[in-house]
């Protein structure tokens, strides 16, 4: 299904594919904010915004994601503001922010009240163990799908491997990795489109 949308979008890749209503933007990010247990937010974002609703193409989603990863602040929240703004202007950005924060805020405050009263939250370890492990798998599966669908050149694959090894295994600071990889890759894209 998403393949058809991507193909249709390739004629006008710059514009969002639709102009959703504010309530739809809020609802979409509320759903992501309340489902993304254990992390995995990037996967939920792509599932709700690109696959289920078809608001953006994969390429638009990835460019937005990169910008939000470079910018300070939590990625899920940055994405809700960025995509909210792209889809619905200033009010869209506010709707995205509010939608993303609503459920996590309420849940955190409730659990916080529980913790400050009883000094523990029962069942937390259980959630952290299995759910966290699934969420990591969600992100990996999402990255694999994105690679399969959008990466067609060997040199692009090389960039993926280099960036993930530099940050994920060598633990180079993200800022340094970006300062090196973004201009270099831009140069390559301009010289050999």
Partner 1 sequence: MILQLTALIKVFGGLSLLAIGGGNALIPDMQRVVVDQYHWLTAREFLDLFAITRATPGPGSTIVLLIGQKVAGLPGAFIGALAMFVPSSLLVFILSCLWHRTRHSKSIKVIENTLGPIAIGLIFASAMVLIEATEHHFLAWAITLFATVVLAITEMNPMIILAAGAGISLAISLL
Site for partner 1 in 18-47 (CB under 8 A): 33-44, 47
- Total residues binding partner 1 (CB under 8 A): 108
Q: In whole angstroms, give the CA distance from residue 39 to residue 130.
A: 12
Query: Is 22 or 131 the residue whose CB approaches partner 1 more closely?
Result: 131
Query: In the complex, what is the shortest distance from the CB of residue 128 to partner 1, in angstroms, rounded to a whole number?
Result: 5
d(CA 118, CA 135): 28
Instruction: DSSP letter for 118, please.
Output: H
d(CA 2, CA 105): 32
Nearest partner of 161 among 173, 175, 149, 177, judged by Cα: 177
Q: Which tokens in the block code for residue 147?
A: 């690679």
Site for partner 1 in 135-164 (CB under 8 A): 135-147, 150-151, 156-157, 159-164
Minimum CB distance to partner 1 smaller for 24 or for 40? 40
Site for partner 1 in 44-63 (CB under 8 A): 44, 47, 59-60, 62-63
Q: Which of 8, 71, 91, 179 binds partner 1 (CB under 8 A)?
A: 71
């Amino acid at each position: 299904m998403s393949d058809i949308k991507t193909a249709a979008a390739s004629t006008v890749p710059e514009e969002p594919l639709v102009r959703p209503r504010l309530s739809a933007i809020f609802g979409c990010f509320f759903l992501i904010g309340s489902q993304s247990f254990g992390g995995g937010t990037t996967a939920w974002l792509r599932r709700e915004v690109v696959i289920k609703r078809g608001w953006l193409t994969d390429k638009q989603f990835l460019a937005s994601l990169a910008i939000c990863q470079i910018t300070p602040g939590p990625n899920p929240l940055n994405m809700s503001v960025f995509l909210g703004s792209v889809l619905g202007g200033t009010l869209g950005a506010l709707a995205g922010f509010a939608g993303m924060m609503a459920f996590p805020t309420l849940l955190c405050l409730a659990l916080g009240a529980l913790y400050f009263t009883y000094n523990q939250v029962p069942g937390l370890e259980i959630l952290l163990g299995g759910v966290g492990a699934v969420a990591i798998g969600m992100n990996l599966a999402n990255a694999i799908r994105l690679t399969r669908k959008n990466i067609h050149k060997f040199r692009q694959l090389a960039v993926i491997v280099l960036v993930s090894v530099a940050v994920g295994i060598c633990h180079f600071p993200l800022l340094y990795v970006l300062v090196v990889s973004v201009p270099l890759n831009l140069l390559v894209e301009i010289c050999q489109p």
